[in-house]
Amino acid sequence: MAPELLLDSNIRLWVVLPIVFITFLVGVIRHYVSILLQSDKKLTLEQVSDSQVLIRSRILRENGKYIPKQSFLMRKFYFNNQEDGFLKNTKRKVVPPSPMTDPSMLTDMMKGNVTNVLPMILIGGWINWTFSGFVTTKVPFPLTLRFKPMLQQGIELLSLDASWVSSASWYFLNVFGLRSMYSLILGQDNGADQSRIMQEQMSGAAIAMPADTNKAFKAEWEALELTDHQWALEGVEEELMSRELDLDGMFSKELPTGIF
């Protein structure tokens, strides 16, 4: 229904490609800046220790079946005992890390905003101003008219199909689209990955609590209480001897060399 517009090929050369380059370079710069501004997160000894204890308790629940019953019970007792079980009785002082009490959190948030949101807004605005007044590209799927004011900033054509978008939209498309390029060039976990950062900020509320340790202990205690010992080695001899041993290829002439 919409007439096919033929865009000036100059647009391709001087608009589309430059925007791609600009976005990419800005992303790379953002990555290196974020590395420079990164503050080391120092964990206290207690936090490291506690996290390992929780892991050990979990392993006991999951793999306790590989050790003898007595050994399992002994460890369960150590963790869950009424009087002096570790999980039951250890209370840690928990300070919820809100921006007010924890100054480093505040600076982290600020740094995050400066390196990510600010450049995006600035560059987006600049591109909109520089490359305004013409259509940049067409998105391959049809859009409704409601998208027009958003995607066609600066183009005052009422009859133009909403699929034709301005350069600002192309810029934002690039910001998200170049994510995989960043992974290729900067490696995983790079600071230019905008969408990942925004995802993190959203789930950040959940992660920001460095797992309230007391709650974690309580949860482990409950889970461990419910765990029973099902010895995995109950019928191991019968299982083993149900067939001959596989001795193929075991005795080759070469022994691997040691240190000398």
Partner 1 sequence: GHYCLDINVLIIVFTEMRDKLRKWREDNHRNSEQIVDVGEELINEHASKLGDDIWIIYEQVMIAALDCSRDDLAWTCLQELKKQFPGSQRVKRLAGMRLEALEKYEDASKQYDSILQDDPTNTAARKRKISILKAQGKSAEAIRELNEYLEQFVGDQEAWHELSELYINEHDYGKAAFCLEELMMTNPHNHLYCEQYAEVKYTQGGLENLELSRKYFAQALKLNNGNMRALFGLYMSASHIAASPKVNATVKKANVKYAAWATNQINRAYQVTKTNQLPVEELLLRSS
Residues that bind partner 1 (CB under 8 A): 43-45, 48-49, 52-53, 55-56, 59-60, 63-64, 66-68, 71, 233, 236-237, 239-241, 244-247, 250-253, 255, 257-260
Question: In the complex, what is the shortest distance from the CB of residue 251 to partner 1, in angstroms, rounded to a whole number?
Answer: 5
The torsion angles phi and psi of 137, rounded to 5 degrees, stand at: -155, 175
CB of 93 to partner 1, least distance (A): 18
Query: What's the chain's Rg over C-alpha atoms?
Result: 30
Other CB atoms within 10 Å distance of the CB of residue 109: 14
Minimum separation from the CB atom of position 73 to partner 1 (A): 12
- C-beta of 72 vs 170, nearer to partner 1: 72
Residues with Cβ within 8 Å of residue 37, at least 6 apart in sequence: 111, 115
Strands, E, within 74-208: which ranges? 137-138, 164-165
* Separation CA 95–CA 209 (nearest Å): 9
Closest to 92 in 3D by CA, of 233, 208, 254, 217: 217
Q: How far is the CB of 187 from partner 1 (least distance, A)?
A: 14
How far apart are CB 124 and partner 1 at their closest, in Å? 36
| Tokens 């460095």 found at | 210
> Which C-beta is closer to partner 1: that of 206 or that of 245?
245
Instruction: Give whichever of 106 and 232 is closer to partner 1, judged by the CB atom.
Output: 232
Instruction: Give the contacts of 32 (CB within 8 A, at least 6 positions apart).
Output: 191
Residue 52 or 203 having the CB closest to partner 1: 52
β-partners of residue 165 are 137
For residue 91, the minimal CB distance to partner 1 (Å) is 18
CB-wise, 171 or 221, nearer to partner 1?
Answer: 221
Q: Which CB, 65 or 196, lies closer to partner 1?
A: 65
Ramachandran angles phi, psi of 164, nearest 5°? -85, 125
